[in-house]
C-alpha cells in the first residue's frame, strides 16, 4: 500500500528566504507526482506535475525534484513571499492506479 | 470560469438527513474523481469515473454513499442518513485521458457540517 509522508508538518520562515518542503513515498512504482497548494477552506491548486521519467519541473519561483529510487520529492520555493503562505500537499499516482495518494501536507507561513 | 465547479460550497445538515453535492468538471475531461478531506489531513480517494462508468470505489465509500455521472458530464455525490463523522470537505477533480501521466485539477470543494 502506497503511503506518502510530508515533513515538516508546519514551517514558519521570514519573507525572502529560500525553503524546501519534503515528500516521501513508500512504493517507487509511480506514474507521476503532483504538488498542490491549498489555502484555508479552499480547494487544491495544482502547482507542478512531475512524470515518472522526469527528474524535475520548474514554474516561476517553484522547482520540484523527483528521485523515484529513493522515494523522495522536494519542492523548492525561492525568495518566499507572504502570499506563499498556504498548505502544500504532494500526491503520487501509483502504477496501475488512477487515484492520487496524498500526504498530510506542510502548513507554510511566511512572515513579513 | 472554465475550471472544476462544485455546488454548494457549504452545507449544514442535521444528522440523519440526506445531502447531495454536484460537480461540473472541465468540459473536455473524461475522468472525474471524488475525494474527502478532514481537518488537518490530506484528501482521501472515494471514487472515480471514466465517462459515465464508475470504475473504482474506495472502502471509505460505505453503502450510505452513492455517486453518479449519468451522461459522462457532471457528477453527483449523495450521502444518505448523514452522521457526524461525515463532516468533511468533499473535493471533486477531473483529468483528461490522454495517457497515464495527466494532471488532475480540483474544484473548490463542498464543506459539509453535520450537526
Task: Determine the pLDDT at residue B100.
Answer: 54
Mark yes or no for CB contact B103/A52 under 8 Å.
Answer: no
Task: Determine the pLDDT at residue B58.
Answer: 92
pLDDT in tens, B5-32: 999 999 999 999 999 999 999 988 999 9
Nearest CA-CA distance, residue B14 and chain A, Å: 21
Mark yes or no for CB contact A42/B106 under 8 Å.
Answer: no
Task: Determine the pLDDT at residue A110.
Answer: 97
| Least confident piece of the model among A77-81, B85-89, B103-107 | B103-107
Q: Where are the beta strands (DSSP E) in A43-111?
A: 44-51, 56-59, 62-67, 72-77, 86-94, 100-102, 106-111
Task: Determine the pLDDT at residue B35.
Answer: 97
pLDDT confidence bin for A1, thresholds 50/70/90: confident
Task: Determine the pLDDT at residue B103.
Answer: 84
Task: Determine the pLDDT at residue B101.
Answer: 58
Smallest CA–CA distance from A93 into chain B, residue: B101
| Phi, psi of B84, rounded to the nearest 5 degrees | -60, -30
> Measured between alpha carbons, how far is B100 from A55 in angstroms, rounded to an integer?
17
- β-strand A4-7 against A44-51: which pairing, if any? unpaired
The candidate with the shortest Cα–Cα distance to A52, out of A71, A73, A31, is A31
The pLDDT of residue B2 is above 80: no
pLDDT in tens, A14-68: 999 999 999 999 999 999 999 999 999 899 999 999 999 999 999 999 999 999 9
The 8-class DSSP code of residue B61 comes to S
Nearest CA-CA distance, residue A38 and chain B, Å: 10
pLDDT in tens, A94-112: 888 889 999 999 999 999 9
CA angle A104, B37, A19 (to 5 degrees): 30
Q: What percent of chain A is modeled with pLDDT above 70? A: 100
B34 CB near a chain A CB, below 8 Å?
no
Q: What number is the average pLDDT over the span B81-110? A: 89
The pLDDT of residue A77 is above 80: yes
pLDDT confidence bin for B72, thresholds 50/70/90: confident
Question: C-alpha cell of A103?
Answer: 500526504
B87 CB near a chain A CB, below 8 Å?
no
pLDDT confidence bin for B66, thresholds 50/70/90: very high
> Measured between alpha carbons, how far is B69 from B73 in angstroms, rounded to an integer?
6
Amino acid at each position: 500500500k502506497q503511503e506518502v509522508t510530508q515533513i515538516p508538518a508546519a514551517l514558519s520562515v521570514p519573507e525572502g528566504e529560500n525553503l524546501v518542503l519534503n515528500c516521501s513515498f513508500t512504493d517507487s512504482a509511480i506514474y507521476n507526482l503532483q504538488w498542490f497548494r491549498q489555502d484555508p477552506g479552499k480547494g487544491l491548486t495544482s502547482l507542478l506535475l512531475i512524470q515518472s521519467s522526469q527528474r524535475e519541473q520548474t514554474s516561476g519561483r517553484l522547482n520540484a525534484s523527483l528521485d523515484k529510487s529513493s522515494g523522495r520529492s522536494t519542492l523548492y520555493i525561492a525568495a518566499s513571499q507572504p502570499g506563499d503562505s498556504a498548505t502544500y500537499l504532494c500526491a503520487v499516482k501509483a502504477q496501475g492506479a488512477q487515484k492520487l495518494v496524498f500526504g498530510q501536507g506542510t502548513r507554510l507561513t511566511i512572515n513579513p | 470560469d472554465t475550471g472544476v465547479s462544485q455546488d454548494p460550497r457549504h452545507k449544514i445538515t442535521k444528522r440523519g438527513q440526506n445531502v447531495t453535492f454536484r460537480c461540473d468538471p472541465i468540459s473536455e475531461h473524461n475522468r472525474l474523481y471524488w475525494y474527502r478531506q478532514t481537518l488537518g489531513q490530506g484528501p482521501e480517494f472515494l471514487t472515480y469515473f471514466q465517462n459515465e462508468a464508475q470504475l473504482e470505489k474506495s472502502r471509505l465509500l460505505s453503502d450510505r454513499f452513492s455517486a453518479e455521472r449519468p451522461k459522462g458530464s457532471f457528477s453527483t455525490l449523495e450521502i444518505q442518513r448523514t452522521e457526524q463523522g461525515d463532516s468533511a470537505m468533499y473535493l471533486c477533480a477531473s483529468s483528461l485521458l490522454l495517457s497515464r501521466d495527466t494532471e488532475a485539477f480540483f474544484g473548490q470543494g463542498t464543506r459539509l457540517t453535520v450537526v
